[in-house]
Amino acid sequence: MKPSIVVLTDFFAVTNRALSYAAGLAVPLKASLLLLHARHDELLAPEEFASRHTAEGEQKTVYALEKLAAAQPVATAVDISNFSLAEAVREVVGQCPPLLVVLGRAGAEPAPEDLVTATAMDLLGHTPYPLLVIPPAGWDAFPPRRLLLAVDGEPFSLVEYRDVLSQLLLATHGTLSLVRVTANGETAPSAAAVLDTVRPNDLVNELAEGSLRQVYQNTVVGGVLQEAADQQADMLVIIARRHSLIGGLFHRSVTAQLLRESVIPVLVLPAAD
């Protein structure tokens, strides 16, 4: 079965950058698209657009989404749900597990930034699938060829959809580097020890010690974002546990802050508890 990429859509038939980015990835990944709209979600269907809940308004939404789907470069389906967003995503992925779920971060749209971040964190807590969050700007470096994986040096185990990163690197002819942030005044672990926490997940065929950068910074978020800028990375990859969130990058607040502040797309790979 052809893999799919789920794109979360709003009353405006999706933030254009998120759909454009997802469609651009779908071509080399040989994937289809699914435009998913939750009729009663605070993010995708805010109260100020209550008039869209009329029969005529919903018909217009369906028409707009179907028209948009027909214009995509790959096979694209539309799904409109009466469930909450997390429930709608869970239902969709239960029927056909996707490679990615794509969410556009707030920009000129009326959705507040904190609501987008909260939605992303809620999805990660309920649906253990890779989540790609597209920022308001900085997403046009395409295809993403310089990927930066942020790790904290603690062991982790990804859920079953770990191969999305290797597929992405293969499809875009991309490279993967790693960063670990050490607080000023602390002693950094050896590169070999850090890489040994990553290798069991088989993210790439080979991880050389030279692929890891250990930087000193007051905050994890500041260090990761600075390294992404220094390397001119065009996608940031982070690991997130759903429940037992230990320190470093697995901490919920750090994940949320990176999603909110990154100027490049962020791919979140859920780890097992």
Q: Tell me, what CATH number does 177's domain have?
A: 3.40.50.620
Distance CA 111, CA 133 (A): 14
Answer yes or no: do 116 and 27 share one domain: yes
Answer yes or no: do 170 and 118 share one domain: no
The average confidence (pLDDT) of the chain is 80
Is 139 part of a structural domain of the chain? no
Confidence of residue 55 (pLDDT cuts 50, 70, 90): low
235 bridge partner residues: 147
Residue 48 has pLDDT above 50, yes or no: no
Q: Contact at 8 Å (CB) between 215 and 223?
A: yes
Answer yes or no: do 127 and 46 share one domain: yes
The continuous run of DSSP H or E covering 60 comes out as helix 55-70
Residue 46 has pLDDT above 50, yes or no: no
Is 141 part of a structural domain of the chain? no
Rounded to an integer, what is the distance from CA 145 to the centroid of its chain? 16
> What are the φ and ψ backbone dihedral angles of 205, each rounded to 5 degrees?
-65, -35
SS3 79: strand
Best-predicted range by mean pLDDT (1-10, 151-160, 231-240): 231-240
Report pTM.
Answer: 0.86
Is 35 part of a structural domain of the chain? yes
Question: Residue 95 sits in which domain range?
Answer: 4-134
Rg (C-alpha) for the chain, rounded Å, is: 19
Q: Give 60-117 pLDDT, tens digit per residue.
A: 778 888 888 999 999 999 988 877 777 888 887 777 778 899 988 654 444 455 677 7
Distance CA 204, CA 114 (A): 33
Is 223 part of a structural domain of the chain? yes
Number of domains in the chain: 2
